Structure 1
Amino acid sequence: MALRNNHLAIDNDELMRRVENLINASKNRYRITVIVANRAKQRRYEAPDDMEDGWMKPIRRAVIEMSDELTAPEIIGDE
């Protein structure tokens, strides 16, 4: 991982590992996909100027945030 604009840059391999962790943590792939998409949409409209020249796309940011929050059951709870 490399440092970029004071943020931790995550390469594609690390991002894919995080995606797999999210999918494995949920019993329902569709539900986790929708949750990530909604988080990305929310982030896109909250801070459109915070895209850092296209490096941190909303979907990428959502996956990173959610994979960091895997310990919070309300994020991926299947109830």
Structure 2
Amino acid sequence: MAKTRKVTITLPVELLESMRAHTDNVSGYLTELAERAERRRLLRDELDHYQGEFGAFTDQEMVEAQALLHGTEGIERAA
């Protein structure tokens, strides 16, 4: 189990009520959201590093990435 530390945060009442309507574990819910945000940040850093080294992604690469990420079928290939 990962180490944890208790912290205090302040949230708008409406947001807290909305979260509690979906889960009884607000701490776990916020942890999952923070983990997702951290993964996106790390991915963005990696993509920025890659493009800094090899140049911007081509239209074709972007189309292929969209297909892989979203499972899109039959999308037009970039010219």
**TM-score (normalizing by structure 2):** 0.32
**TM-score (normalizing by structure 1):** 0.32
The answer to which structure has the higher strand fraction is 1
The answer to which structure has the higher helix fraction is 2
